Amino acid sequence: MFDAVADVQDGELALRGEHAPLLLIHGGAGVERASMTPQMEAGARAALELSLRKGYAELEAGKTATDAVASAITVLEDDPLFNAGKGAVFTHDGKNELDASIMDGSTLAAGAVAGVHRVRNPILLARAVMEHSPHVMMVGDGAETFATEQGFKLVDPSYFRTDRRWQELQKALKDDAAGVPLTERLMALKHFGTVGALARDSEGRLAAGTSTGGMTDKRYGRVGDSPIIGAGTYADAACAVSGTGWGEFYIRVSAAREICMRMTELNESAEQAGKAVINDEIPQMGGDGGAIVLGADGSISMPFNTEGMYRGWIGADGVPHVAIYSSDVLDLPQPMH
Ligand code: ASP
């Protein structure tokens, strides 16, 4: 809960027609305690806090929700612990193919890239597609040609490689060769690690973004939910969502848009809408994962149906709040204008 000082500050801001900035992030669902070391936990917490601080600094400086989302996600893309940017998972044929999207809820402008393998920060390229092209989504070589035209310096594909992700692929390939069915193998790959961010700026604008390497052992050209507007990412004037999990299911239920639609049209709270899609609809179909949800009134929910999800938020008190497992208590701010 907000403390008394934050409550007063929020009330004063509301009277002036301003909004207390808020930033939420996730670093992926599917975290399992058994596969974590104390070093990994400490590293993840530190990275989440850094991401929150960097993104929040943008909001405090009066920048837009889109600026904060891009900045928070860039930190996590650069950290090898997360499955986005450096540290992305490998495809079946041993490559890193990255997907990302971003949406400005105040204008419904959106940008996305899929299947890029030489762009260090795919979220920044997604933003360039949104702001400097007439398109919403660009893929593969075309997206990278556009990146060069936009002044992005491409990196060697080996930049994304980490040994941990390589070993995860080797295990998946072994299971593949042993005839373990694809659905079972995907179920076993709990370490999703996609990253996402949502922000509300001082003018009350919302934005959402998501970035990922996808799923280990995915086939060449497979695109998940993260770069698909309405599936992995969505923002409008009332609501913002970023998802993480087994992407095929998120696409099939239009997860992010469905959560927002429940909030705007069915009048559900962030908690009710998030729960309905993440804890009911998706598991009922056989999928799993989580999401972060932000309402324009500052209401928040962070539902997931796995053992853990890297997650955190920062608001008026300027202190990052982060959590990993479902047993971790993460106090959320009260809804407020
Ligand atoms: N949703 C991502 C995908 O299916 C994976 C993840 O969230 O980690 O590509």
Please list the rounded mean pLDDT of every run of 10 residues in the chain (337 residues).
47 64 95 89 97 98 98 98 97 97 98 98 98 98 98 98 94 87 67 90 97 95 97 98 96 98 97 98 95 97 94 95 92 68
Q: Ligand 1 within 6 A of 245 CB?
A: yes
Query: Could you tell me the distance, in angstroms and rounded to a whole number, from the CA of residue 250 to the centre of ligand 1?
Result: 9
Check if 217 has its Cβ closer than 6 Å to any atom of ligand 1. Answer: no
- What domain count does the chain have? 1
At residue 131, the pLDDT reads 98
d(CA 197, CA 98): 17
Concatenating the DSSP letter of every residue in 56-114 gives HHHHHTT--HHHHHHHHHHHHHHSTTSSSSTTPPPBTTS---EEEEEEETTTTEEEEEE
Cβ neighbours, 10 Å, residue 91:
22
Query: At 119, which CATH number?
Result: 3.60.20.30
The DSSP letter of residue 318 is -
Domain carrying residue 156: 21-325
Tokens describing residue 238: 């009332």
Is the CB–ligand 1 distance for residue 212 below 6 Å?
yes
> What is the model's pLDDT at position 190?
54
Q: What is the DSSP string of 254-277?
A: THHHHHHHHHHHS---HHHHHIII
Q: Are strands 109-116 and 137-139 parallel, antiparallel or unpaired?
A: parallel
In a domain, 336, yes or no: no
Quick check: is 13 in a domain? Answer: no
If one residue of 92, 244, 282, 309 were mutated to test the ligand 1 pocket, choosing by the most ligand atoms within 8 A of its CB, it would be 244
Measured CA distances, 133 to 33, 125, 141, 326 (Å): 43, 11, 16, 41
Would you state the pLDDT for residue 330? Answer: 86
Ligand 1 geometric centre to CA of 215 (Å): 6
Ligand 1 geometric centre to CA of 12 (Å)? 40
- pTM (two decimals): 0.93
> Is residue 38 in a domain?
yes
Is residue 87 included in any domain, yes or no? yes
What are 240's strand-pairing partners? 235, 294
- Residue 34 domain-assigned? yes
CB atoms within 10 A of CB 60: 14
* Element (DSSP H or E) covering residue 208: strand 206-212
Pocket flag, ligand 1, residue 193 (CB < 6 Å): yes
Pair 10, 316: CB distance under 8 Å = yes
Is any atom of ligand 1 closer than 6 Å to the C-beta of 194?
yes
Q: Which atom of ligand 1 is nearest to the CA of 192?
A: 8
Confidence (pLDDT) at 215 = 94
Give the mutation target among 192, 223, 251, 282 for probing the ligand 1 site: most ligand atoms within 8 A of CB: 192
Angle at CA of residue 97, ends 95 and 99, nearest 5°? 165
What is the best residue among 246, 253, 282 to mutate for testing ligand 1's pocket, by most ligand atoms within 8 Å of CB? 246
Residues noted as catalytic: 194
Closest C-alpha to ligand 1, atom 4: 247
Q: How far is CA 93 from the centre of its chain?
A: 25
Is 208 inside any structural domain? yes
Rounded CA separation 84/121 (Å): 9
Is the CB of 287 within 6 Å of ligand 1? no
Asked whether residue 200 is domain-assigned, the answer is: yes
Query: DSSP characters for 103-160?
Result: EETTTTEEEEEEEESS-S-HHHHHHHHHHHSS-SEEEHHHHHHHHHHTTPPP--GGGG
Q: Is ligand 1 within 6 A of the CB of residue 27?
A: no
Is residue 74 within 8 Å of 53, Cβ to Cβ? no
Nearest to 160 by CA among 226, 212, 224: 212
Burial class (CB in 10 A: 0-12, 13-18, 19+), 19: buried
Classify residue 147: in a domain, yes or no: yes
- On whether the CB atoms of residues 316 and 6 are closer than 8 A, the answer is yes
Query: Does residue 182 sit in helix, strand or coil?
Result: helix
